[in-house]
Amino acid sequence: MNYWLIKSDPQSYGWEEMKKDGETLWDGVRNYQARNNMKLIKEGELALFYHSNTDKAIMGEVVITKEYYQDPTSDDPRWCAVDLKFAKEYSKPVTLAQIKDDQRLKDILLVRQPRLSVMPIKVSEYDIISKYAQK
């Protein structure tokens, strides 16, 4: 079981829409590293849903319902999409500031590589974040 973090700009697709839709396809990734990560995601794995720009916080969790396939928004076979389903909303979103303040999370890719939009999360990191989410 691997954990992931996906980033979204709420102006293009926000957590509210994710909740309302229940299920959606995650497309439009045009970055090789993010794409490579996306190809490693397996059906049934969990991803943290992060809002960039306005909230700068992890809003909740989603489950991958379909592994990577050709991105329907592109004819270019290099790009792919996955399907996601709403899993749970955090009672307290975990903010970037909290993450940055926690020494144990200093190596998290969210901080070290701020522009990457799909990234793996270590189990230890996931555990810390989910504890913050319940507080």
Partner DNA sequence: GCCAACGTTGGC
Instruction: Measure Cα distances from 89 to 10, 31, 59, 67, 103 in Å.
Output: 15, 27, 6, 22, 25
Q: How far apart are CA 130 and CA 58, in angstroms?
A: 10
Q: How far is the CB of 9 from DNA (least distance, A)?
A: 5
Q: How far apart are CA 38 and CA 32, in angstroms?
A: 10
Figure out which of the listed residues 39, 44, 92, 114 binds DNA, where binding follows CB under 7 A.
Answer: 114
Q: Quick check: 9 binds DNA (CB under 7 A)?
A: yes
Figure out which of the listed residues 10, 14, 25, 31 binds DNA, where binding follows CB under 7 A.
Answer: 31
Stretch binding DNA (CB under 7 A), from 13-21, 28-36, 58-66, 86-94: 28-36
Its sign, for the CA torsion 123, 128, 133, 135, is positive
What are residue 5's DSSP bridge partners?
48, 119
Q: Quick check: 115 binds DNA (CB under 7 A)?
A: yes
25 touches 83 (CB < 8 A): yes
Sites for DNA among residues 35-64 (CB under 7 A): 52-53, 56
Q: Quick check: 74 binds DNA (CB under 7 A)?
A: no
Q: Which two tokens stand for residue 52?
A: 């960039």
Q: Closer CB to DNA, residue 44 or residue 114?
A: 114
Q: How far is the CB of 37 from DNA (least distance, A)?
A: 12
Residue ranges in contact with DNA by CB under 7 A? 7, 9, 30-33, 52-53, 56, 96-97, 100, 113-117
